[in-house]
Amino acid sequence: MSEPILVLGASGQLGQALQTEAMALPMMQRQRFSFIPRAALDVTDQTALGRCLRQHDPAIIINACGYTAVEQAEQHPAQAYQVNQQLVTVLSHYAKATGAALLHFSTDYVFNGVKQQPYTETDSTAPLNHYGKSKLAGEQAMLSIAPAGLILRTSWLYSEFGHNFVRSIWQKIQRGEPLKVVVDQIGSPTYARELAALCIRLVTAERFASRFATTQLLHCAGQGFCSWYQLTQEMLKHSIRQINLSAVSSQQWPSNVVRPAYSALSSQQLQQQLGFSLPPWQQSLANCLQQIKAVHNVKGHSE
């Protein structure tokens, strides 16, 4: 069998997307992957983590673990740093020592949102909240240890899996609920299935470790940008239901977290270096909603 690939965080949104895309591979490629859900491994337990790494002896590690609860990270920053920084540090040291390659994911929330045009990889970081600060600390740890590997910064991740904005709003639309949605935060919505498919192509291609012989950082997000309100408007185009949708400002939205007003990402470097890009966000949203509708129809017929 070819070199083994270990995926941590397999039960999360991105982890489920990675599993779905990997299962579509030919058998020989599919057999390279081992998916470890959170229930099977406490990634903050370094003894258990070390045992898992030694057991699987991966050539490539995909770290799909993340403390992504932005609100809870403000209340429990130590827990966010455990997953978003300390885990990355351990994995980076392991990869460096064993010659494995590490694929890790970061966030648009490492920026403060004052730029008002899509952020590039060379722009200065200045996170506004503990989630963004912990993710930046993870980036810095991996870059300083410099194993073979890649950090992909992404933005506004959604899918048919788990809890996310698109899935939650779509369910409310189908129930006919009136909606108030923030209009003054701008980002680049990214469909997790398409991000996962790109990652699977990367790690199953030849020379992944040699192509990223020392850690690189690239942006990988849906093309274009919009507000949460505009994203909801686009969703309504795919629904036969009419609802009462109103725009609210960030100040009107009850939250204990300061978020960047603008955090759209430019993925131009990804396209130039690797020849990969994700579709425009409107097309990706349509692809995701098609999957959500398909899942709903299957459930409906089985009940």
182: nearest Cα among 167, 170, 165: 165
Helix or strand run (H / E) with residue 50: helix 46-56
Eight-state DSSP code of residue 224:
S
CA angle 228-229-234, nearest 5°? Answer: 95
Which one of the listed residues 81, 109, 119, 131 is annotated catalytic? 131
Q: Does the annotation mark 131 as catalytic?
A: yes
Cα–Cα distance, 207 to 201 (Å, whole number): 12
**Residue 77: which residues within 8 A CB-CB, separation 6 or more?**
130, 133, 134
DSSP of 127-186, one letter per residue?
-SSHHHHHHHHHHHHHHHH--EEEEEEE-SEE-SSSS-HHHHHHHHHHTT--EEEE-S-E
Which residue type does 258 have?
Answer: V
Q: Phi and psi dihedrals of 124, rounded to 5?
A: -70, 140
Catalytic residues: 131
